[in-house]
């Protein structure tokens, strides 16, 4: 069953998703996972937030992946997010100069995550945003959402996704500015204030 004959397209069917479970912590997170911005870059922003369940409890066993363009709206094709040390087998961390655009951050014991990345530039018809993918124990299929930044109301109003979301839920996709260049973005998997999640077709 799991040898796929690509000459028979009807047999090419998707592999189902499964939860990450509770025990990925020694495998997937890596040092500097959230330090996406090159060191000293003037367009650096900080992001932080909590991941909550349907009763409002923070998730200590979730992780988020962020994927976004540089301030010019360009998507990186540079590797090296999890650079390794061939001598020890350990992690060297990012080199602090190149921008890979991608990061992976596990929530801490309080359900809190943080990242430093570059302010995304606009692409296509959309207002600038960072794509987010959420994984957790108990989540059978990961969830996609987006972090939009406040400020340019005209761009947000014209965004093809935001303009389709009910006004009372729209705010779940827009980070809140806490101080200059620092933003708060909470993710609520269920219930009051449930984050808007996306499905790509």
Partner 1 sequence: MTLTQHDIDQEIAAEHAAYEKRVADGAPVEHQPRRDYAPYRSSVLRHPKQPPIAIDVTKDPELVELSSPAFGERDITEIDNDLTKQHNGEPIGERITVSGRLLDRDGRPIRGQLIEIWQANSAGRYAHQREQHDAPLDPNFTGVGRTLTDDSGFYEFTTIQPGPYPWRQHVNAWRPAHIHFSLFGTAFTQRLVTQMYFPSDPLFPYDPIIQSVTDDAARQRLVATYDHSLSVPEFSMGYHWDIVLDGPNATWIEEGR
Query: Restricting to residues 36-95, which ones interact with partner 1 according to CB under 8 A?
Result: 53-55, 57, 59, 65, 67-69, 75-86, 89
Give Cα 41 to chain centroid, integer Å. 20
Q: Which residues fall within 8 angstroms of residue 44, CB to CB, at 6 or more apart?
A: 37, 116, 117, 118, 119, 181
**Which region, judged by CB under 8 A, interacts with partner 1, from 37-45, 138-146, 150-158, 177-185?**
138-146
Please state the closest distance from residue 179 (CB atom) to partner 1, in A: 26
How far apart are the C-alpha atoms of 159 and 83, rounded to whole Å?
35
Is 192 an interacting residue with respect to partner 1 (CB under 8 A)?
A: no
In the window 5-34, what residues touch partner 1 (CB under 8 A)?
6, 9, 12-28
Binding region for partner 1 (CB under 8 A) out of 40-48, 117-125, 148-156, 175-183: 117-125
Query: For partner 1, which is the closer residue by CB, 11 or 180?
Result: 11
Contact 29, 63 (CB under 8 A): yes
164 lies in the site for partner 1, by CB under 8 A:
yes
- Indicate the residue among 169 and 180 with the shorter CB distance to partner 1: 169
Minimum distance from residue 112 beta carbon to partner 1 (Å):
17
> In the numeric block, which tokens belong to residue 179?
């101080």
The token duo for 132 is 């987010």
**Cα 46 from chain centre:** 13
Which of 33, 34, 38, 101 forms a contact with partner 1 (CB under 8 A)?
Answer: 101
CA distances from 181 to 12, 106, 184 (A): 45, 22, 10
- Number of residues written out for the chain: 201
| Minimum CB–partner distance for residue 31 and partner 1 (Å) | 13
- CA 98 – CA 78 distance, rounded (Å): 7
Rounded least distance, CB 72 to partner 1, Å = 13
Out of 105, 130, 156, 175, which residue is the one contacting partner 1 (CB under 8 A)? Answer: 130
């Amino acid at each position: 069953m799991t040898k796929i004959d690509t000459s028979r397209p009807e047999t090419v069917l998707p592999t189902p998703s499964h939860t990450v479970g509770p025990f990925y912590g020694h495998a997937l997170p890596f040092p500097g996972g959230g330090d996406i911005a090159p060191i000293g870059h003037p367009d650096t922003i900080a992001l932080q937030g909590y991941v909550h369940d349907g009763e409002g409890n923070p998730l200590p066993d979730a992780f988020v992946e962020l994927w976004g363009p540089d301030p010019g709206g360009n998507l990186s094709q540079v590797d090296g997010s999890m650079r390794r040390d061939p001598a020890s087998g350990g992690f060297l961390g990012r080199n602090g100069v190149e921008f890979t655009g991608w990061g992976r951050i596990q929530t801490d014991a309080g359900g809190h995550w943080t990242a430093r990345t570059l302010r995304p530039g606009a692409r296509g018809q959309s207002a600038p945003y960072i794509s987010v993918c959420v994984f957790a124990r108990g989540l059978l299929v990961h969830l996609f959402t987006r972090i939009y930044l406040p400020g340019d109301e005209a761009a947000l109003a014209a965004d093809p996704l935001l303009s389709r979301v009910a006004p009372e839920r729209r705010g779940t996709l827009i980070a809140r500015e806490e101080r200059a260049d620092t933003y708060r973005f909470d993710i609520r998997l269920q219930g009051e204030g449930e984050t808007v999640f996306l499905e790509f077709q």
